[in-house]
Amino acid sequence: MARRVMPLLGRWPSRVFSVELDGAPCYFSIQEKHRGEEAPRLFAKVRERDRCFSLLVCAGDAIRRAKFYAELKETLLRDLPPGCDVSPMSSFLPNVRDSLIKGFFLKDSSDSPSKSEGLLRDLIRHDPVLVCSYLRGEDGQLWTQHLWSHADGQTMDMSKEYYVVPSEAPEYHPSTLNIINSDVFYSFEEAYEVLKKCGDIIPEATSVMELLPSRAPARRKPDFPVIVVEGLDATGKTTLTESLRDTLGAALLRSPPQCLSPLRARFDQEPPLIRRAFYALGNYITAEQVGQEASKTPVIVDRFWHSTAAYAIATAVSGPMCNLPAEGSEVYRWPSDLLQPSLVVLLTLDPEERKRRLRDRGQGKTEEEQELDHNQLFRLKVEEAYRRINGPACVTVDASPSADQVLQQVQLLIRGKCHL
């Protein structure tokens, strides 16, 4: 255990901690001396009998960390006694990329505190998790943080204690620190390395790698225009792309590509790191297909990198719209090794009309598409992420008129931009 956490402990007092309460983060930090600060909001409603703990996943390997985080959540929800509240939390160094560590905050109001503590002791003995307990001072106001260590087969509190104090919200939402090549991939090699390392634990990863090009397809300008159509489900993408195929005599491709369809359900069960790498590589398979077709005819693509990135960013960044990375952030940049389309059309639709169309279709939806249906904030974040992606940026088209009118409007865009 000590070997795994020593790199963290070296800068431990500089870290900020964030706990999700009712969909909003509550921040606190720690310091060696108390200077009269009040206890953080997180502890204001903790009763005298309640016990508080934090669990941070500290495995060095990103894939193991992602897998264990998902497993830890299941373990806590399954094995903790009734009366325990588990909230997502994280620890990070402000403005330091890749410094985010994810975990959970536990408030134990149960009648079986020994059962909870026993579970935590087992975790620290065998798993890559750093446990801290939080103790109320004698005056009932001050709180201190105590790190647990593991030595000689016994779990014990480290003698070092820190005072817990409020912390202001950081300049950047903490989840944005780890988006690059974790939630969104910006090169073939980064996504490929993730799936390559999954071969031993996910047999289907080998099947994906057999479908991949040996490297990212050469990013050269296609002979014929490549038009990508983006948008949320039920905005009319299928109707429009098929109409464009017919009117332009174009090839029609989709991302993720058809060859990955049998594997999607399997990778949708995986943690975000692995799932996002799978979909990122799907874009490179599509890019290879686009390059082949665009040497002889125009190409229409139903979704591409914009979708992969927009959904990932909106999912990774919790809370309100203002938590999204600012316009111009590097998270919105197009991958330098991915084929660049000539035009990207983003279809938008009134939310109620989109829901009506979804009901009429009655088709099964992914977890993220279900989230769009009942979470207006998530939908707005996806649409805003779409708009902020550049290189190329999306051209927004209102999809509420008739299919023929939408087709005519997009054809005008294509004539102006692509000279078709």
* Domain match, 168 and 192 both: no
* Domain match, 125 and 189 both: no
Measured CA distances, 133 to 39, 41, 52, 111, 417 (Å): 15, 17, 6, 18, 60
* Domain match, 122 and 183 both: no
How many Cα atoms within 13 Å fall on the side-chain side of residue 327? 5
Please count the structural domains in the chain: 2
* Domain match, 368 and 414 both: yes
* Domain match, 104 and 248 both: no
Task: Check residue 160 and give its pLDDT.
Answer: 79
Looking at 152, 176, 200, the residue that finishes a domain is 176
Per the structure, the complete domain to which residue 354 belongs is given by 179-418
Geometric angle at alpha carbon 69, from 67 and 71, rounded to 5°: 70
CATH of the domain at 226: 3.40.50.300
The pTM score is 0.89
Task: Check residue 113 and give its pLDDT.
Answer: 86
Q: What does 339-393 look like in DSSP terms, one character per residue?
A: PPPSEEEEEE--HHHHHHHHHHH-----HHHHHHHH-HHHHHHHHHHHHH-BSSP
Contact partners, residue 117, CB within 8 Å, separation at least 6: 51
* Domain match, 117 and 198 both: no
Closest residue by Cα to residue 406 from 353, 342, 360: 353
Task: Check residue 367 and give its pLDDT.
Answer: 62
Measured CA distances, 280 to 201, 212, 387 (Å): 19, 11, 19
Task: Check residue 155 and give its pLDDT.
Answer: 46
* Domain match, 375 and 362 both: yes
Q: Assess contact for 66 and 129: CB atoms under 8 A.
A: no
Using N-to-C axis directions, what is the helix angle for 272-293 and 188-197, rounded to 10°?
130
Q: Assess contact for 245 and 301: CB atoms under 8 A.
A: no
* Domain match, 171 and 183 both: no
In terms of phi and psi (left: phi > 0; alpha: psi -120 to 50; beta: otherwise), the region of 328 is: left
Q: What are the per-10-residue average pLDDT scores of the chain (420 residues)?
A: 57 93 87 88 88 91 91 94 94 92 95 90 84 86 85 53 92 91 96 93 93 81 93 89 96 96 95 96 96 95 96 91 92 95 93 75 58 75 94 92 95 88
Looking at 118, 142, 176, the residue that finishes a domain is 176
Looking at 176, 199, 221, the residue that finishes a domain is 176
